Amino acid sequence: MNRKSELHNYILTYKDYDSDYWTSGNGNNEILFMLEKYSPNSWRNLEEELESWNVSELEILAGALSDEESWIYAEDISKILPQRSSLFACIFAKIDVIYAIDLLDRFEFIFKGSEKSYSELSKIKVQFENITNQEGFRMFYSEERINFLKKTLDQHINTDR
């Protein structure tokens, strides 16, 4: 069994557990521990495999990727920060806008690790603009927060040019 299948099977097995399972060090840690063993090729394969995952599975993975609080393997996991950040950015850019809103609280994680390409940042910007155009969105996020995120994104886009 390859690692990507192991990861997907793990998420499928526990996806209906409550959020405490994922955020209190159990689920997220297990996912990060699995990812720590991935080769560069495994990361590419995982990104391709995500096309067949459903939204709840993507959200669980995105939560684990951006988890910076509950790790027991913190030192080892920091080695894969660039890969985690890139995969989180990929999920953010591709997921339906309604669900991308849920990832907005962790938006800054996109900029951790290595710099993203102009192409990646452009996709993220389109998604961000789609989110901010959603009816009722501003009820949940202050104008100050929205402007901060937009400014951060624009700075990274301008830096990459």
- Tell me the domain boundaries of the chain: 3-160
Cβ atoms within 10 Å of 44's Cβ, excluding its own: 13
Query: Residues 101-142: pLDDT tens digits?
Result: 999 999 999 999 888 999 999 999 999 999 999 988 888 889
Burial class (CB in 10 A: 0-12, 13-18, 19+), 41: exposed
The span from the CA of 62 to the CA of 99, in Å, is 11
> What is the Rg, in whole angstroms, of the alpha carbon atoms belonging to the chain?
16
Contact 11, 59 (CB under 8 A): no
pTM of the model: 0.90
Query: Residues 52-94: pLDDT tens digits?
Result: 999 999 999 999 999 877 555 556 667 899 999 999 999 999 9
